[in-house]
Structure 1
């Protein structure tokens, strides 16, 4: 299933996606599959999910993909994707989440299975109780890797875990942003202070000086390339500027990342070097210094991934809301809808109504906490109780709004699985 934009949409050919979705829209099938459900609810199209996963593996060019759990936030689907060839290991977002995943991992038969790779916590933690739990659990300590980018992190972890117990595995977070004009112009994520190769090597030596810690990896996430579409709607000069920035940034990072990895490997051996994201799988996998990729958003293919020239995943995750008002001709109101994505506020963070075609949010109200007005020709054909289908702007954040995902194949619900929220967890 997909939601290809209509051929008569207002976008110019210049900034339409270079390729169409892999399959036509199938909302009739979704309607039949979910006829007995009362909105709000969320569905995942398993055929689209599998196609997206396979496409990501092809784009990765033979390097394994570490699955970003925050992009799925559903343990059953994380385990399903990790059973697919080409995926290995988890990129978690908090240490409590990583401890939970390590403890709860199940095999296909519902019993404890073989670990599907290690679990890299993609962001630093200051959670002292969780660090103590990690240090007291030999099995978890053997699988979970903490992210660090400063001596202050090393000191915090060392103090929390104490002098005895299993060694704690750590990974250096190398800043991947583009810095120009002597650092006065910063393009990219503000994540880590480790930018120069010598800074990474210095922190690697600081890790080795602490017997309780073991350096096993280096990570760098080029958000200005992997997370920023190069085919955004809008003015052509703005798209050209994004593409130029991304070319310059990719060339600079390729050389700097290789130099940083050489410098760190001169201090200690590494088990992995992680890089990339859904939007940069091809370019990052081509770097010899990178041994694995990190990605996950392309599995659900939210709205933010509609605007890349090089690939177009199938929308796989949707949510449905009920029409509860008809306030004026050409307008309807649905119950709920304020499922706004994180990031810099703006229209790109709002959910998008995709079926019936021809509905839009109102600029004066947007997506509301309790109700969301919509306008467009399709509104006059909708009755009270009819559904409007939406796509979320970002991937896993949809799961913070629902307790379960209805897994659909064709016109049937084949399973219902809990989200993190449905299992009683809100890690952030």
Structure 2
């Protein structure tokens, strides 16, 4: 069983050398997780939340053993799953599962209706009466199911829009009316509300994003935080006039302290900060440790200043661009060849350090997004100090997948 309590303080100096030495007996490719860095990141997230409970976003972890280890730490409560099948699976060991996206999975809905324990532990999202119609059609006469509503938390200023396209419900009056309609429907128990401010939580404020310089991003985020604080409070009030709420979920890793300052929010969904992928290097308010990384073997030497790695095309989801590629973490002085990029079966890396690498040596890379490497690996090799102390299966290693 993976345990974070008692982990030594994380030390950035020598981190990659310790990871490499501890895993020297493993054949790459493989993924490794620093126990000290993971514990450091978990403590940092709790400190930033300042007393507001954190719900772990499972898509950013994708390892049940890691989820359970973090949930044992003070300050964390429940998980934020991505799909209903995932939520049902996790509910066997986790007693508080919020599925953050609506479902149209008929088999999963029938399974939920037949699972008394899951009915008590799993809450899932709707943002329209059409979602209720799908549920009723999939599982006619189903017992009461726990429901949460989602409020659109994107920021709009005239024709300019920032955020993600999720719920169509934006204003307090609309979500109040939806709450009334849900409560009036037999077979549904409304218990929560969610509003995810992706334009703050998932956008680095110290790096350029597209054509927008960091200063412009910070101005947008300040305006968005102020606007959402007022609108979310009104939306929560509108729903609470209809039914008591068990929770109001908001935020993400990049906005923990800002979301925690909103009195309407009772919990924060966050997960990426546990692994510290490189897309989270560009925030001014916090700097996570690079807890998770993957190692690729050197298999060719095409010429001076260049070696070729096996595999490596672990491109992150989202808008296409250089920031979605992995980055070389160690040895220092290497970069991915921009003409070829991270490839399906090979990834050339360039730099003077390449001439010091022998065939079979490893190059360590960091993924752009947190949990996605777990879709490509069956296990995380847990490193503490200079040795591997545990091997934790990923979802894939347990025969599962996220999507």
Do they fold alike, i.e. is TM over 0.5? yes
Aligned to 1:30: 19
3-state SS of paired residue (1:218): strand
Assess if the C-alpha contact under 8 Å between 1:22 and 1:313 holds in 2. Answer: no
Q: Which residue does the alignment assign to 2:83?
A: 94
2:197 paired with 1:222: yes
Aligned partners of 2:189 and 2:14: how far apart in 1? 49
Distance in 2 (CA, whole Å) between partners of 1:155 and 1:382 is: 60
Work out whether 1:171 is the aligned partner of 2:160: no
CA distance in 1 between partners of 2:185 and 2:129 (Å):
11
Q: Secondary structure at the match of 1:228?
A: coil
Equivalences for 1:231-246 in 2 at 5 Å? 231-232=206-207, 238-246=213-221
Within 1, Cα distance between the matches of 2:142 and 2:14? 57
Report how far residue 159 of structure 1 moved.
2.3
- Output the CA distance in 2 between the equivalents of 1:309 and 1:32: 32
- Residue deviations 1:353-395 (CA, integer Å, cap 9, x gap): 1111011112211100000011111111111111100011100
Q: Where in structure 2 are the equivalents of 1:322-401 lying within 5 Å?
A: 322-401=297-376
- Name which of 38, 61, 64 aligns with 2:53: 64
- State the match for 1:8 in structure 2: none
Q: Is the 1:22–1:314 Cα contact (8 Å) retained in structure 2?
A: no
Q: Which residue of 1 aligns with 2:36?
A: 47
Q: Partner of 2:137 in structure 1?
A: 159
Task: Provide the secondary structure at the position in 2 that maps to 1:243.
Answer: helix
What residue number does 2:172 align with? 197
- Looking at structure 2, the residues matched to 26 and 315 of structure 1 have their Cα atoms a distance apart, in angstroms, of 9
Q: Secondary structure at the match of 1:126?
A: coil
**Change over 3 Å in CA distance of 1:59–1:23 after alignment to 2:** same
For 1:179 and 1:417, the matched residues in 2 are separated by 43
What is the alpha-carbon distance in structure 2 between the residues aligned to residue 32 and residue 363 of structure 1?
Answer: 29
Instruction: Give, in angstroms, the shift of residue 235 of structure 1.
Output: 9.9
Question: CA deviation digits over 1:93-116, x for unaligned, max 9?
Answer: 01000111112x2xxxxxxxxx4x
Of 231-240 and 251-260, more deviation after overlay is shown by: 231-240
Give me the TM-score of the superposition, normalised by structure 1: 0.90
TM-score relative to the length of structure 2:
0.96
Deviations 1:14-65 (A, max 9, x none): xxxxxxx963242221122111100000000010000100110010010100
Counterpart-to-counterpart distance in 2, 1:243 and 1:85: 31
Of residues 378-387 and 36-45 in structure 1, the stretch that sits farther from structure 2 once superposed is: 378-387
Q: For the aligned residues, what is the CA RMSD?
A: 1.4
Does residue 275 (structure 1) correspond to residue 250 (structure 2)? The answer is yes
Pick which of 355-364 and 85-94 moved more: 355-364
Aligned counterpart, 1:136: 114
**Preserved contact between residue 158 and residue 213 of structure 1 (Cα < 8 Å):** no
Distance change (3 Å), C-alpha of 1:343 and 1:406: same
Contact 2:62 2:402 in 1 (8 A): no
In the aligned structure 2, how far is the partner of 1:286 from the partner of 1:427?
Answer: 32
Matched length: 394
The unaligned stretches of length 5 or more in structure 1 are 1-20, 106-114
Partner of 2:285: 310
After TM superposition, list the pairs within 5 Å mapping 1:107-118 onto structure 2.
115=94, 117-118=95-96
Question: Runs (4+) of structure 1 moved beyond 4 Å?
Answer: 233-237
Distance 1:247 1:206 in 2: 34
> Does 2:62 align with 1:84?
no
C-alpha contact (below 8 Å) 2:99/2:124 kept by paired residues = yes
For the Cα contact (< 8 Å) 2:154–2:199, is it kept in 1?
yes
Quote the offset at 1:234 in angstroms. Answer: 8.1
Q: Name the counterpart of 1:6.
A: none
Alignment of 1:260-299 (within 5 A): 260-299=235-274
Please state how far the C-alpha of 1:418 moved relative to its aligned partner.
Answer: 0.7
Q: Distance in 2 between matches of 1:304 and 1:234?
A: 11
SS at the partner of 2:274?
A: helix
